[in-house]
Structure 1
Amino acid sequence: MALIKHRWVLVLVIVIAFVLQIIFFSPISPEILQLPLPSSTVSVPPSNSQLQKVTNLGEGLLIGPVDVAVDEKGTLYTATRDGWIRKLHPKGLLKFTDDGVRVLASHVHGSEIRFADDVIEASDGSIYFSVASTKFELHNWHLDLLEAKPFGQLLKYDPSTEQTSILLDGLYFANGVALSKDEDFLIVCETMRKDEIFIKNLLGGPDNINLAPDGSFWIALLQLVPEETELVHTSRALKRVILNFPKLIELVVGGEKRKAKVINVAADCDMLKRFDDPNGTVITFVTSAVEFEDHLYLGSLNTNFVGNLPLK
């Protein structure tokens, strides 16, 4: 009897410790994430497998090329998740050294910029960039998703004064930033919300956004919340519990690793094109798409290459 009693005491202690961990020592204070229902008034191109036609550039030499840029000569630059800016050109792959890096902004209003995300430069030299989260960083970005609070910002760096200011605060995982062709408006993507001022009812959470030569925009979309796990975001308690089980976290926020989606949206918000890899056969977790000379170059946090999709 004494042995049984001791076992029950041990079980009770474990349960109490687990509850205390969930309630008092959780790194997040979660909110319920409202996921809008699809609208029947929005014209959406049908799903396809166009992204399965991509060719792989720099395969095996890159680690999670999250974003891609192309200069006027067609040279590709990509920022990789291991902290490098890499350059792909006909002679091979080059790596930038510390001698070529200058920090323009590390703080804003006295607070450290913890998770700068995307950036765009205007013709007057002003630099607009997003901060995905002021609480979390890249290595634990999934905690921002689970907490579902607006920790994101849109900042502006003025090169004439070398000062950084906050243009927008309280954004839900501020991600891609783009200027219109005439620079008469700026777009910032909130990955955590599908209901945007620029365009509503997207097919996933918007990541990076890039201006196309014709004035439209290419937007990489992520399915951060798989349909089968949407229930998690209706319960604060369930989020706290899941946080203690890494495999459950992967299940809840791992939808982006199973497929890929990119859309092309006109300046008047019409959805013009849609490219998918619905099963992740060739590419998954596409985070950026940039067009140059009838080719679409794709960045991804889940590949070791930059994708190249011919548009004609």
Structure 2
Amino acid sequence: MKSNPTHRFSFIVAGFFFALLWSSASAATKIGLQSAQPFVIAVTRFFIAGAIMLFIAHVILGKRLPQKQEWKQLVIYGLLNISIYLGLYVTAMQNVSAGLGSLSVGTSPVLISIMAAIWFRQPIKMVTIISLLLCTAGIIIAAYPLIKDSYATPMGITILLISMISYSAGAIYFSKNKWSDLHILTINGWQTLAGGIILLPVLLVTYHRDKNIFDFKWIASVLWLAIPVSIAAVQLWLYLLKDNPVKASFWLFVCPISGFIIASILLKEPLSLYTFFGVAFVIAGLYLVFKRRAL
């Protein structure tokens, strides 16, 4: 695609809003957790987002339904990318700050790089190892004062990291399989709905009526996570990837920064020198990967 002022402006605007919406998920989840249990928020979000995407894909756009092997692929992808990843993520957010949640999301490209190298039996580049060490150090530095002040727990951070591993495995699984001409909204809609259905038994087993208040905070959280995050942010990301994958990846650098700012404004989470140094380490680690095109 040829570069021109209008196109560059569109790319920048799309990237800015992607980073803003994507990083807002942690704060929105924390707000929702003030009124409801994690799986009540998650499952409702998945059903709303999935229903909207499938309505657009099949009713408005008239795209075809998945066939045969594609159903199996969608269920597995939904298990990794929705049920395990977001199920654990929303659970971890009970014991982790919103800013730290955003910071962990930014490290996923490095995890994907390492897991892909192991999956496809390729040598892991030294720059990737250094990047992982920098990102890990950054999370530890940023988490130190949060653990000290009870904004995060070791268990919460562990669950958060496991969720990122599942997300990375889902990304590799998605790229490894053939989806022929299946529309992206169809893939996104069915895998989101499948992930929600898989989590239904967990919701039923863990549900406690007295722990859920279906007030404005819960409604606002679920709708924000379902529409601006699960639908709008993903579509903006696909636009950025289609235009220029390398340049698109750099917008992930903005997510930890905007995530901490949003958490500080909405949730009054503390910003300190530890925060800035932690974010700097993570961004340095990600920059090394993208600069050398190790992903």
- Report the TM-score, using the length of structure 1 for normalisation: 0.24
Name the structure where helix makes up a greater proportion of residues. Answer: 2
Larger radius of gyration: 1
RCO comparison, higher one (Cα < 8 Å, 6+): 2
- Report the TM-score, using the length of structure 2 for normalisation: 0.25
